[in-house]
Chains A and B, each alone.
Chain A
Amino acid sequence: MRYVFLLCAPDGGAEIAPGTPAGVRLRPADCATTVRTRGSEVLVSDGPFTAGQEYVAGFDLVEAADLDEALDLAARHPVAAAGAVEVRPVLEPDE
């Protein structure tokens, strides 16, 4: 199964080396711009869509046999110690 690790870090920056070739790292959350469309109106605001202590700092895509293996990989991810890693199964096109 494929899982995406949403890497959440307190500062929102990603000074961590990518964990997998399929991973990306994001610039800090203060560079974020959020867009919402409501009817015909386009609302643009400064900052990330969540106002919290931790921001999405990057994504990794991993292949694992099952959730236990994915959780094991996540537990050894450097971001797990500094912030948090949200493990989400990928919705595959044929599902």
Chain B
Amino acid sequence: MNGTDDVEKAVTAAFHEEWGQVVATVIGATGDWDLAEECAQHAFTRALDRWRRDGVPRRPGAWLTTTARNRALDVRRRAAVEAAKVRDAAVLARHEDPHEDPHEPAGEDESGVPDDRLRLLFTCCHPALSLDARVALTLRTLAGLTTPEIARAFLVPEATMAQRLVRAKRKIRDAGIPYRVPPAHLLPERTTGVLAVVYLLFNEGYAAASGTDLVRTDLCAEAVRLARVLARLLPDEPEVLGLLALLLLHDARRGTRVDAIGDLVTLEDQDRSAWDRAGIDEGAALLEGALRRGRPGPYQIQAAIAACHTTAATADATDWADIAGLYGELERRVPSATVRLNRAVAVGMAEGPDAGLALVGELEREGALPDSHLLPATHADLLRRAGRPAEAAAWYGRALELVGNEAERRFLTRRAEECRSAHRTAGQPC
């Protein structure tokens, strides 16, 4: 017999582990997304009672899936009796395998092919849905976050988020978005789309664009969990492993990115002894395995950059030339202004501030990233390192006009003041 706390813990753990699987299975059986969410909720509520009475089942996931699915079939039967005619599950319930009974979907048994969550993930991330909708739908159906939680995480009103979710589910149903893992010819492109959603989720949690919390831990944790599911389900895709490695390597530093009062701590000032060694080791090992496959991509390259940082014993020991080279490689594949800006930082560290300033100057002449504080902040930092504090202070000022996040604002303010006082006292680098 379990104590109350143990049961609650078991239900919470099962929620993180199994919610997506339960929802995915019920959608597979009924084609009804709303019903699937309701029935999953029902199963978890019921688990609290039943598990207290009967003990936690040996396979909580199977118990929850069966309970939710039975509930769904019950609701369906009653609706069918009442309405005499129930609309067929239509496209969503269609299965690729004609021998497969749609009411016995794969994934219920631990030994079965666990592809239900994969179907769900690919459907949530279908390119016919807006990016906002993909992210929200993934968090709701796969990660089990509530609508108010998702609304809070993305700083939009609850009604807006609810509307976004309703619209997305309606489009899946009415436009006939298939509930499946895409066929081989679509898979690479669609996998890229799924990875982008998971990456965005992590970034959203890692550095909030606005608001007062720099790190929204829950979103990071959900993104890592989803990346783990993906890596388990698509173990032969090096970019999937690369993404998981990247997230783990970033996540290992999460606790040291802000100090006790919530202020930003730069990479070079972070307490390296407080980094999560196990996360770094796991990320580095995953990256190695991915790179061995000989199909590098943007996530593997970014993970390699993260690994350069996290495996350096001290900030001074960082191999900036290596990092600059990797950014060059990344820029060839993803020639975005953000990548070029990061390369400018690395080149500035490897070859001196003037080399970095030259690259930053190119971006400025092109009018790149006009709304981002990152370009003027980088310009300021390079000037600071070059021993030109008065000019640096001016550029920090421009960055401050654009920054949205409170912790970053305080950081830039502090730097600007340091530069001004350095200039006043001796014209020394600050």
Instruction: Point out residues on A near B: beta carbons under 8 Å.
Output: 1, 64-68, 70-71, 87, 89
Residues of B within 8 A of A71 (CB): 128
Q: A65-B94, A66-B176 given. 12 additional CB < 8 A pairs?
A: A1-B91, A65-B178, A66-B91, A66-B178, A67-B126, A67-B175, A67-B177, A68-B182, A68-B186, A89-B174, A89-B175, A89-B176
Per-residue A-contact encoding for B162-188, CB less than 8 Å = 1, 0 else: 000000000000111110001000100
Most chain A CB inside 10 Å of its own CB: which residue of B91, B128, B175: B175
**A31-B94 Cα distance, complex, nearest whole Å:** 45
Q: Are B128 and A1 within 8 A (Cβ)?
A: no
Residues of A within 8 A of B126 (CB): 67
CB distance from B178 to the nearest CB of A (A): 4
Q: Which of B176, B182, B186 sits near A1, CB closer than 8 Å?
A: B176
Instruction: Point out residues on B near A: beta carbons under 8 Å.
Output: 91, 94, 126, 128, 174-178, 182, 186
Interface of A is mostly: mixed
Interface of B is mostly: loop
Residues of B within 8 A of A87 (CB): 175
CB distance from A72 to the nearest CB of B (A): 9
Residues of B within 8 A of A1 (CB): 91, 176
**A15-B27 Cα distance, complex, nearest whole Å:** 44
Q: Are B175 and A65 within 8 A (Cβ)?
A: no
Q: Which residue of A lies closest to B182 (CB)?
A: A68
A-B contact pairs, 15 of them (CB 8 A): A1-B176, A65-B94, A65-B178, A66-B91, A66-B94, A66-B176, A67-B126, A67-B128, A67-B175, A67-B176, A67-B177, A67-B178, A68-B177, A68-B182, A89-B174
**A78-B386 Cα distance, complex, nearest whole Å:** 56
Q: Which of B174, B176, B182, B186 sits near A70, CB closer than 8 Å?
A: B176
Closest 4 CB pairs of A and B: A66-B178, A66-B176, A1-B176, A67-B176
Residues of B within 8 A of A67 (CB): 126, 128, 175-178
Residues of A within 8 A of B182 (CB): 68
CB distance from A10 to the nearest CB of B (A): 24
**A4-B126 Cα distance, complex, nearest whole Å:** 20
Q: Are A65 and B174 within 8 A (Cβ)?
A: no
Q: Which residue of A lies closest to B185 (CB)?
A: A72
CB distance from B265 to the nearest CB of A (A): 46
Q: Are B91 and A68 within 8 A (Cβ)?
A: no
Residues of B within 8 A of A66 (CB): 91, 94, 176-178
Residues of B within 8 A of A68 (CB): 177-178, 182, 186
Residues of A within 8 A of B128 (CB): 67, 71
CB distance from B128 to the nearest CB of A (A): 6
**A66-B94 Cα distance, complex, nearest whole Å:** 10
Most chain A CB inside 10 Å of its own CB: which residue of B174, B176, B177: B176
**A68-B186 Cα distance, complex, nearest whole Å:** 9
**A14-B134 Cα distance, complex, nearest whole Å:** 35
CB distance from B96 to the nearest CB of A (A): 11
CB distance from A26 to the nearest CB of B (A): 24
Residues of A within 8 A of B186 (CB): 68
CB distance from B133 to the nearest CB of A (A): 14
CB distance from A4 to the nearest CB of B (A): 12
Residues of B within 8 A of A64 (CB): 176
CB distance from B278 to the nearest CB of A (A): 41
Residues of A within 8 A of B176 (CB): 1, 64, 66-67, 70, 89
CB distance from A64 to the nearest CB of B (A): 8
CB distance from B229 to the nearest CB of A (A): 23
Residues of A within 8 A of B175 (CB): 67, 87, 89
Q: Which residue of B lies closest to A64 (CB)?
A: B176
**A87-B174 Cα distance, complex, nearest whole Å:** 12
**A89-B178 Cα distance, complex, nearest whole Å:** 13
CB distance from A93 to the nearest CB of B (A): 14
CB distance from A67 to the nearest CB of B (A): 5
CB distance from B123 to the nearest CB of A (A): 10
